[in-house]
Amino acid sequence: MKTKSAYVCTACKAVSPRWQGQCPKCLAWNTLEPALQKSGPVRDFPLNRPVDLRELPTLLEDRVSSQLSGLDGILGSGFVPGGVILLGGEPGIGKSTLLLQVTASMENSGKGVVYVSGEESLSQIRSRAERLGMLGGRLTVLATNQADDILVCMEDGPALIVVDSVQTMISSSVEGLPGSVSQVRAVATALTERAKQLGVTVILVGHVTKDGQIAGPKLLEHMVDTVLYLEGDKEHLFRILRVVKNRFGPSNEILLFEMREKGMSVIEDPSTFFLQARDTALSGTALVMSMESQRPFVVEVQALVTKTFLAFPRRTALGFDANRLHLLIAVMEKRLQISLGQVDVYAKVGGGLRMKDPGLDLGIVAAILSSFYDRPLPEGAVFWGEVDLNGQIRPVTGHDVRLRQAANLGYAPMVHPKTGAKGKGWTRISDVQKMLFGQAGQG
């Protein structure tokens, strides 16, 4: 700990940061003498010591249900008392609507819940709740931007407090405007500490930047127990709730919602939800058995290959990384001996989804070949597999789960990587090309 010089008056014991001939308090002359004064907090409580975990009693978590079966599942059987959850998402994606539904459902089941809004007035919240049909039961709300008001509410012992949003709250302990780094850190720290002490579950709504990351210090995501992202395209009716971090349950889980007039509705079986109004007689479309977290579902990959009128052909990808499309086109030209240098290639994932699954590669290749030859793929064909730079089809995670789900849905043929020495499947995209298009795929 650093030390600094100070001067103490021998007459009145007053402390002065610098020497002067007269004491500023008692006005005595020549009474200031040098003294050392420690800077920093004084520790007046006992030191913590390490303990053996085996000596601690086992605590059984009495979780609180959110009254939404799907939400309880991805969180790990509901809310943990004292847990802090951070929910992020773009403006207008449905964060407030979803949390208002959870608040109303839990209060109707007899749990104490407080919905705190720093962005809307009480009349605005009432109008939205009335539009969603949530005024049939009790709904406790608070419109404030003072973190101290929330701390007082936590003293009453509710099961859940929703703070919408943390960037609009102000803590009286620090200076700064709402949304500044110091204010967000102070508000989150105060709410987290009080939640742990009182066993109250807190959900913090966080704004996101234009890059899709939660605004504010990265410490905010480290501090909370669970981080959720609500994703989706505003032009479509579905939303994806993704678990990025979870100390009390599985991570990388997803839950699909459909936006309706009365709020969010859980999609219990998303297996074929994204295949609505699909015409199997058209070329350039392929079905992919995708995996998001531990849940398999079928998505449609669409491709359009057309003659270019530009000096440099266009390559456009929607729903997945454009660099991935460039890589696959280069592999197809090299390994399949087809010329794509004089055509534009457009590819997208149907339904407005944003996918990172490496198993999407084989479906993209099949869709491009289908559009290139202008021949539709077999009606029940489904694809998954990663394509490397040598044109080989590599296995992907969740192969057995994808296989079972495809069999249950009745898809055939199933075009997937070969697993094991005696396993069924495909090893090269050239073999898949020959199987799908025969002699048309040669040269």
Helix (H) or strand (E) holding 58: none
Q: Is 398 annotated as a binding residue?
A: no
Alpha-carbon separation of residue 336 from 284, 301, 365, 382 (angstroms): 17, 20, 11, 21
In sequence order, the 6+-apart residues with CB closer than 8 A to the CB of 299 are 274, 275, 287, 288, 290, 349, 350, 351, 353, 355
Rounded to whole angstroms, how far apart are CA atoms 432 and 443? 14
Q: Is 90 annotated as a binding residue?
A: yes
* Burial of 57 (C-beta count, 10 Å sphere; 0-12/13-18/19+): exposed
Helix (H) or strand (E) holding 373: helix 360-373
Rounded to whole angstroms, how far apart are CA atoms 216 and 373? 50
Q: Is 92 annotated as a binding residue?
A: yes
CA angle, residues 313, 317, 318, in degrees to nearest 5: 145
Q: Is 258 annotated as a binding residue?
A: no
Rounded to whole angstroms, how far apart are CA atoms 298 and 409? 10
DSSP strands (E only) in 61-107: 84-89
Residues annotated in a binding site: 89-96
Residues annotated in a binding site for ATP: 89-96
